[in-house]
Amino acid sequence: MINEHIKDAKTRMDKSIEAFRQEIAKIRTGKATTALLDGVKVDYYGNPTPLNQTANVSVLDAHTLSITPWDKNMVAEIDKAIRAADLGLNPVNDGTNIKVPIPPLNEERRKELVKLVKKFGEDAKIAIRNVRRDANEHLKKQEKDKELSEDLRHDAEAEVQKHTDDHIKKIDEMIKHKEEEIMEV
């Protein structure tokens, strides 16, 4: 029973880290990456569909993405979806393909992006601490219901704290790495 609570807490903490990883992947660093367009939904015959399911998205060079729709009728819809996504990108449509130039970031914008990464990191840390709190509450309830001794509860809480510390350290490393990536000129 104790191991189930600890395993559940660790799984939920892992999910928080994965959500954070996906969130910061969307933050552009001045280099072209297909992850920039992961959140873009295209109106594909009435259904909002992820861009990568309607076209081939590739990196042309360090500052340009290339999008080749599988259905040539979708070029205008894809162009419209990228503009509507409010990513600060201006796609260039040549009728059959779309090129998305990635503008270089100025110093002020880089600092704003670093603040955003730190905010997302703090949100992820809060989520991990909430998981720790929930796990500890379950353990205290088990102790109160006489399913668990005080020593076992204390040991389990120490293990949950160890997982919490490990996950927060991972988030700090990810923040540091992304900050270096953004500030690199």
Structural domain spans, the chain: 2-26+106-183, 34-101
Classify domain 34-101 at the CATH topology level: Gyrase A; domain 2 (3.30.1360)
User: Residue 185: what pLDDT?
Assistant: 64
Confidence of residue 174 (pLDDT cuts 50, 70, 90): very high
What would the two tokens of residue 181 be?
């990536």
Give the CATH number of domain 2-26+106-183; options: 3.10.20.600, 2.30.140.10, 1.10.132.20, 3.90.1150.10: 1.10.132.20
Supply the DSSP symbol for 145.
T
123: Cβ contacts below 8 Å, ≥ 6 apart = 20
User: Residue 163: what pLDDT?
Assistant: 95
Round to whole Å and give the CA distance between 172 and 112: 18
Q: pLDDT tens digits for 74-115?
A: 888 888 888 887 777 888 988 889 998 888 778 888 888 889
What would the two tokens of residue 172 be?
């700090």
Q: Is this prediction's pTM over 0.75?
A: no
User: Residue 90: what pLDDT?
Assistant: 87
DSSP letters of 2-57? HHHHHHHHHHHHHHHHHHHHHHHHTS--SS--GGGGTT-EEEETTEEEEGGGTEEE
